[in-house]
Structure formats: C-alpha cells, structure tokens
Amino acid sequence: MARIVMKFGGTSVADISRIRNVARHVKREVDSGHEVAVVVSAMSGKTNELVSWTREASPMHDAREYDAVVASGEQVTSGLLAIALQNIGVNARSWQGWQIPIRTDNAHGAARILDIDGTELISRFKQGQVAVIAGFQGIGPDNRIATLGRGGSDTSAVAIAAAVKADRCDIYTDVDGVYTTDPRIEPKARRMNRISFEEMLEMASLGAKVLQVRSVELAMVHGVRTFVRSSFVEPDAPGMADFDNPPGTLICDEDEIVEQQVVTGIAYAKDEAQISLRRVADRPGVAAGIFGPLAEANINVDMIVQNISEDGKSTDMTFTVPSADIDKALAVLEKIRPEIGFDAVQHDAGMSKISVIGIGMRSHAGVAATAFKALADKGINIRAITTSEIKISILIDGPYTELAVRTLHSVYGLDKQ
C-alpha cells in the first residue's frame, strides 16, 4: 500500500463526463489499496471566464476580491468530483485550501505556500477517505483566500504530497509524459521514462509547458517523486494500475537514473526580444543600474551577454526580454539613460531561444561545439549564447525555430534511442 497524491488539470475535468472519467482513475488507486488525495484545477476555460468578469467589473480591482472570485472554479470542481466518487462507492470529501489549511504569504494573485498542516488529511486516510482538494488556493496571513498564480494547482499537489509524505505525486494532464522535444515540431520526439528534477526544471523554465516551474522546484527541494501521466488513457488500460511502472514519465533524483544520457531534451521559447546597449560606461554598479529598474518594472530579463571592454571605458551589453515587454523595457532604459550613460539602444523582436539540456553535459566535452556546427550547416545564425552546467541556450531568428529544434534533436540522436 502506498500514499499517492493525484492531480488533474483543467482539460481532464472539463465537463461532467471527464469528471466521471477522473473518478474512475481515482477508484482504481483506491481499489489497489492506496491512500489517496486528489488535487483538481478549475474546469477548462473557467478561470479565464472568472478573470474576465473581475476585469469587466473593474479594471483596477482589489486583489483580495480577485482571489475570492477566481478561486471559486476549483471549489466547484472539487465538489463535483467528490459527488462523482461517492456515486461510484468511494468514500470522498471535498476540501478547500483554507480548510486544510494551506498557509501562504500575502501576495494575492501570486502567493507562495509557507506551510501545510497535513495532520487532518492523514487522519482521513486512516479512515479510508479520499480528500478531493481545490488546487491553486490557500489562506493568507489576513485570513483571506489567496491564489498561487496560473498553473498553481501543480504546486498545490506537490506541496500537499510533501506535507503528507506521499510516496508519489501523479500529475495527470492531456499528454502522456515528458518528451525529448515538442512532438508537434518533431514527430520523432520520444517520451522519456525518467528525467531528473534538474533537467525538468530547466525544461519547464525554458518553454516546456508540461509542469509549472514552481512545482518542479518544490518537488526537487522536498524530494517528491513526481509522475506525469495522461488522464485520457482508459483507467483500466493495461499497466495503469502498475504502481512501480505505469505509463508516463517519472521526475526523480538523478541517482535513480541508471543510464544518464549526455543530452536529454531540446526546449524552445518563442517571442523573445533582443536588446543591445552600445558603448555602456564600464564601471562598477552599471549592471545593477540597468537590471534593477527592469526588475522593478516586472520585466523578466533572460540571456545576458557583456563584451570585454578593450579600453576600460565602455562596453556593449546584450540581453533578452519577452517580446510583449519590449516597449516597456525600452521606456525604462530611456529613463535611466542619463544616469547610466550609453550611446545607443538597438532591439529586435521575434527571436527564439533554443536550449539543449542534459545532466550528462557535466562529464562530456564537445556538446556545445556539436550544436554550433549543426546549426551552421543549416545556415542558422546564432545571435547570443549562454550556458550552465546542464544547459546550452542559443538565441536565433524566430523563423528558424522549427528547423533548429529538429536539427538539434537529430544531431544528438534523440530520435533514435
């Protein structure tokens, strides 16, 4: 017998028929003798509808009331799933975030989980009851409902799994696992059986939409083994009840991965913008003077490249921001221009960032050179490069995105293993 947290996203609970299907998945685990908690998102499209209502009511709405409205989607789903489970003979009860309680900070709309008391949930496990928990929400220090930001139900599930010391957290979604790259771009992309926390964190932060970044961070910190599975596979299909090797992708510590590939996957992020500051004064504090105001304006700066100053007086600095933020970023830079001192600002939108990821890079040389040569052979120009211990990110012109992804996926043999 194991303790499992099962999480189902919006497409998995989009209507009553799909909620009934989710109930069958839950019943399968209960019938196998496992202790089960379930975390649910709002029904597909419902959160967007609730957000639009708050904006229609008032463009400058109170964040606490916004949370009260948008959190209701998960409340509806948790109640409906509890009813569906009871209807097929499963002892189930719905829970809201504040009832557990899931305690968060006071950042309404983007709260972070501070603590979860799993005592009551564990006592219900002992009674054979399934807890159906509304994801995405908790209770802030002001005793008001606080939501965790879009995609926050993944974070809720991992945090609850950590709090109740679950053996595994199963994330059910509309895909059947984590792939070596986007199958819509490269049909030869393969589903991975296992991927390390670090690799998944890089893939999630670099464009892979399978899991929310914060949920992967939390799983890595607390060592929560996380399984990505499909809710659209029939609940009684072969292998679905196999606890040790169900179909899907296990995200775990790298020590659990026997054969570590040099490259695990290729991720990409479109709609990047490149900004270059020419002849920036080369003195201490200049970088802080540039990136501090951008951070205060909530502009996410990604790749940063600074040229070496030849004369010790000026240098060039290049970085990327989301294309949607380029006008805001340029306005911030013009405001600080007199204080910082730079001659010109150049910018290009429509860039894409292609990333090569793999824990095997730590012990293998030549990974970057292979990527550069492969792209050069296809006539793809590289605008900027950044690296880390397990990642190489390359900035290219947007129209070459799909060609670059397919090229790198092939050159590292990811379509053959």
- The pLDDT value recorded for residue 200 is 92
- The pLDDT value recorded for residue 237 is 87
**Does residue 41 form part of some domain?**
yes
Whether residue 210 is annotated as binding a ligand: the answer is: yes
Residue 162 has a CB neighbour count (10 Å cut-off) of: 20
Going by pLDDT thresholds of 50, 70 and 90, the confidence category of residue 417 is low
Are 326 and 233 within one domain?
no
**Does residue 260 form part of some domain?**
no
DSSP letter string, 200-215: HHHHHHTT--SS-HHH
- The pLDDT value recorded for residue 15 is 96
Q: What is the three-class DSSP state of 2?
A: coil
Going by pLDDT thresholds of 50, 70 and 90, the confidence category of residue 139 is very high
Are 224 and 273 within one domain?
no
Are 211 and 280 within one domain?
no
- The pLDDT value recorded for residue 209 is 72
Strand partners, 315: 280
Are 314 and 241 within one domain?
no
Whether residue 15 is annotated as binding a ligand: the answer is: no
Overall average pLDDT of the 36-61 stretch: 93
| % of the chain residues with pLDDT over 70 | 98
- The pLDDT value recorded for residue 239 is 87
Instruction: Match 């492969």 to its residue by tokens.
Output: 374
Candidates 177, 181, 193, 191; CA nearest to 229 is 177
Contact 295, 249 (CB under 8 A): no
- The pLDDT value recorded for residue 217 is 92
Whether residue 239 is annotated as binding a ligand: the answer is: no
| Planar angle of CA 185, 190, 195, nearest 5 degrees | 115
Whether residue 138 is annotated as binding a ligand: the answer is: no
Task: Provide the domain limits for residue 372.
Answer: 265-411
Number of domains in the chain: 2
Whether residue 74 is annotated as binding a ligand: the answer is: yes
Residue at which a domain ends, from 255, 287, 307: 255
Contact 152, 56 (CB under 8 A): no
Are 218 and 333 within one domain?
no
Are 187 and 272 within one domain?
no
Whether residue 174 is annotated as binding a ligand: the answer is: yes
Overall average pLDDT of the 368-382 stretch: 94
Residue at which a domain ends, from 229, 255, 281: 255
Overall average pLDDT of the 211-216 stretch: 88
Are 249 and 323 within one domain?
no
Question: Does residue 307 have a pLDDT over 70?
Answer: yes
Whether residue 172 is annotated as binding a ligand: the answer is: no
Whether residue 8 is annotated as binding a ligand: the answer is: yes
- Give the side-chain half-sphere CA count within 13 A for 299: 26
What the block records as the tokens of 223 is 């060592």
Whether residue 400 is annotated as binding a ligand: the answer is: no
Going by pLDDT thresholds of 50, 70 and 90, the confidence category of residue 312 is low
The whole-angstrom separation of Cα 346 and Cα 277 is 7
Are 219 and 273 within one domain?
no
Question: Does residue 205 have a pLDDT over 90?
Answer: no
What are φ and ψ of residue 183, in 5° steps?
A: -65, -20
Rg (CA), the chain: 23
- The pLDDT value recorded for residue 169 is 97
Are 97 and 188 within one domain?
yes
| % of the chain residues with pLDDT over 90 | 65
Question: Does residue 138 have a pLDDT over 90?
Answer: yes
Going by pLDDT thresholds of 50, 70 and 90, the confidence category of residue 172 is very high
**Does residue 147 form part of some domain?**
yes
Task: For residue range 227-267, list pLDDT tens digits in order.
Answer: 999 999 998 888 888 888 889 999 999 888 876 678 999 99
Whether residue 268 is annotated as binding a ligand: the answer is: no
Candidates 170, 225, 171; CA nearest to 196 is 225
The per-residue pLDDT of the chain, averaged, comes to 91
Overall average pLDDT of the 278-299 stretch: 87
Q: Parallel, antiparallel, or unpaired for β 391-397 and 344-357?
A: antiparallel
Are 196 and 146 within one domain?
yes
CB neighbour burial string for 373-384, b if at least 16 within 10 angstroms, e if fewer:
ebbeeeebeebb
Are 130 and 67 within one domain?
yes
